[in-house]
Amino acid sequence: MIALIAHGGATGAQETVPNRDATRANAKSGASLYNLGSQWTTQDGASVRLGSFAGRPVIAAMGSTICTNDYPAIVADMMWVEKHLTPDEADLVRFAFFSFDWEADTPERLRLYAESHNLDLNRWTLLRGDDGAVRELATALDVRFRRDDLRGFDHAAVISLIDEKGEIVIQLRGPQSSSEAFLHKIRALLSGAN
């Protein structure tokens, strides 16, 4: 069962991250994720900053395209949300998947993954960043991760709803195929009622 939380309290593997407490404290205090300075590369090879998502609600998650444990469930949960929004609602929301695997998840691999899962690239963006970018965002979203012995990743399964200003509204933690409460929060953002 997915637990709904406002922020923090992740379970799963932990990686030591420099300045973790300071970054997380900023995210919890209402500071915008869009103030983070990291650069990311999209599935199309474009270089972007997180601020490029400003102005619309974003459903964001982190994982790896080669992960066989939580990643397929995370993407499936995001797809469930997209499917349960009306087409007009879904067009107002961005879906962002950030890869932990800065080595293997090239833009080409991300694009192939999007195509093989029929992700609408008008709504979805798959991104990779360098080690610093990944650690910075994982810290801000309180997503703990570490490499496993098989060149994959152990990580917390977290889906975050981020408002148009870059502030975390709610997070889903753990595997589950749906959440009516998450849909309700998205619709509240879209209607302007926080």
Domain range enclosing 140: 3-191
pLDDT in tens, 138-159: 889 888 765 655 565 555 678 9
> What are φ and ψ of residue 95, in 5° steps?
-115, 120
Question: What's the CATH code of the domain at 42?
Answer: 3.40.30.10
Half-sphere exposure of 116 (CA within 13 A, CB side): 9
DSSP code per residue over 133-180: HHHHHHHHHT--EEE-TTSSEEE--EEEEE-TTS-EEEEEES--S--H
Predicted TM-score of the model (pTM) = 0.78
pLDDT at 192: 83
Please give the chain's pLDDT, 194 residues, in tens. 333 333 333 333 333 233 333 334 344 445 899 999 899 999 999 999 999 999 999 999 988 787 554 446 788 889 989 999 999 999 999 999 999 888 888 999 999 999 999 999 999 999 999 989 988 998 898 887 656 555 655 556 789 999 999 999 998 876 554 578 889 999 999 998 54
> What are φ and ψ of residue 13, in 5° steps?
-65, 145
Contacts of 186 (CB under 8 A, 6+ apart): 57, 59, 81, 85, 89, 93, 161
Q: Which of 37, 34, 141, 147 is nearest to 98 (CA)?
A: 141
Number of domains in the chain: 1
pLDDT in tens, 44-77: 999 999 999 999 999 999 887 875 544 467 888 8
pLDDT at 129: 93
